[in-house]
Amino acid sequence: MRQVSGWAVVVLAAVLAACTGRGEGADGVRFHAEGQPAQLSDWHLFDVHEGTLVPVEGVLPYDLNTPLFTDYAHKLRTVWMPEGVAAAYREDETFEFPVGTVISKTFYYPRLPGESSGTDRVLRSEGSEGRLPGGGLRLDDVRLIETRLLVRREEGWVALPYVWNAEQTEARLMRSGDLVPLTLVSADGEEEPATYAVPDQNQCAGCHGVDLQSRTLAPIGPKARHLNRDFDYVDGDGVVLQANQIERWTEVGYLEGAPSVGDVPRVARFHDGSATVEARARSYLDINCSHCHSPSGPGNTSGLWLASDVDEPLRLGRCKLPIAAGYGTGNRQYGIVPGDPDASILTFRMASNDPGVMMPELGRSVVHREGVALIEAWIRQQDGDCDTGG
């Protein structure tokens, strides 16, 4: 906790409230420049109003065009920065965030209609059930699982996993992670067991570790191409206001240096039927795989690079021989065999739940059927033949 004497806090809070509405101080976010606060409420990112969990003033909710798949969990993401500082725009990389930034991601599931709060049965959906404009979550309609924080301190980013209690009144720091048994129930009643894994604090680096040597952490999602989309904000009077996120971040002073929206890159939403299969597949691989599958990521030894700007077919897996043959490849020959998803290693590993085979290797216990179907469709529409040089 930042230690400031009582009067200074009052004066500072008044000044901040008057000039920006970033809500730091007594009624707003409490930034902790050191230590690992034991409870999520110690940060005061959220309040509960009339049974709804809402971000406090200045805590800006955001969405990505295509999210990471995590056992069908829904995610509420927020960003907050202290007074007087902003993130610097980057065209391709994660924005450059200032010291004091707090980014949160809350994982939850919509509850089944009529299901009591004590059960493990939750809705398997990719819709927006339980979620209100402006990022509010109706507590009777959702099962909160965990809230992850990435906090930018002087020494770099710190990752903190908080797990919600059954009463949904508090989330506690769980540095050793947790396992949450769930039954995912689809709208038509089909059931699938899942063992949702809250990562332990060291596993955060397995995906957020951008520098393999120093194991330095960094955010993954807040890049121009993922944020360039509309979001339903709510103003002080409760009026819903749809705005582009890049413009909104700029307007509230959280982002500097962004060009006009037409010049900001954008990846497709993976379930957007109006985008091409190619665009949707590349967006999906970008957010689900490229944090590891890049020249500097934890999957770099594979030689498979899956970011949306990679244009060399071999790097993307096309007619690429695997680094090791056999078991992990399902005895398939190449990463991608054009036109033939059933012969491609990419889809074999995405459709597997075997810990020694499955991709991503962290962060899921069930298969993302819609994701696998998309990558299969993309491979199916590719022309060429590996034996004649692609």
- Binding residues for ligand HEC, rule: CB under 6 A, are 64, 67-68, 75, 77, 103-105, 148-150, 159-161, 199, 201, 203-204, 206-208, 219-222, 287-289, 291-293, 298-299, 301-302, 304, 317, 320, 322-323, 328, 335, 345-346, 349-350, 359-363
CB of 28 to ligand HEC, least distance (A): 19
Based on CB atoms, which residue is closest to ligand HEC, 16 or 347?
347
> For 169-300, where are the E strands, in sequence order?
171-173, 178-185, 191-198, 209-211, 216-217, 230-234, 240-244, 255-256
CB of 198 to ligand HEC, least distance (A): 7
CB of 373 to ligand HEC, least distance (A): 13
Based on CB atoms, which residue is closest to ligand HEC, 252 or 362?
362
Measured in degrees and rounded to the nearest 5, phi and psi for residue 184 equal -85, 125
Based on CB atoms, which residue is closest to ligand HEC, 22 or 148?
148
DSSP 112: P
Based on CB atoms, which residue is closest to ligand HEC, 17 or 341?
341
Q: Are 286 and 316 in contact (CB under 8 A)?
A: no
Q: Token digits for 115?
A: 């299901």
Angle between helices 277-289 and 369-380 (to 10 degrees): 130
Based on CB atoms, which residue is closest to ligand HEC, 16 or 142?
142
- CA 106 vs. chain centroid, Å, equals 9
Q: Token digits for 240?
A: 């819903």
Q: How many whole angstroms separate alpha carbon 339 and alpha carbon 336?
A: 9
Q: How many whole angstroms separate alpha carbon 22 and alpha carbon 76?
A: 19
Locus of tokens 């103003």: 235
CB of 18 to ligand HEC, least distance (A): 29
Q: How many whole angstroms separate alpha carbon 204 and alpha carbon 148?
A: 10
Based on CB atoms, which residue is closest to ligand HEC, 140 or 211?
211
Based on CB atoms, which residue is closest to ligand HEC, 184 or 350?
350
Torsional sign, CA 49, 55, 58, 63: negative
CB of 78 to ligand HEC, least distance (A): 9
Based on CB atoms, which residue is closest to ligand HEC, 135 or 221?
221
Greatest alpha-carbon span in the chain: 76
CB of 235 to ligand HEC, least distance (A): 24
CB of 305 to ligand HEC, least distance (A): 10
Instruction: List C-alpha distances in Å: 93 to 65, 96, 144, 231.
Output: 16, 8, 31, 21
CB of 205 to ligand HEC, least distance (A): 8
- Contacts (Cβ under 8 Å, ≥6 apart) of 378: 277, 278, 280, 281
CB of 335 to ligand HEC, least distance (A): 5
Based on CB atoms, which residue is closest to ligand HEC, 22 or 291?
291
CB of 185 to ligand HEC, least distance (A): 23
Q: Are 248 and 260 in contact (CB under 8 A)?
A: no
Based on CB atoms, which residue is closest to ligand HEC, 111 or 291?
291
What proportions of the chain, in percent to the nearest 5, are helix, strand and coil? 20, 25, 55
Closest by alpha carbon to 224, among 252, 257, 200, 246? 246
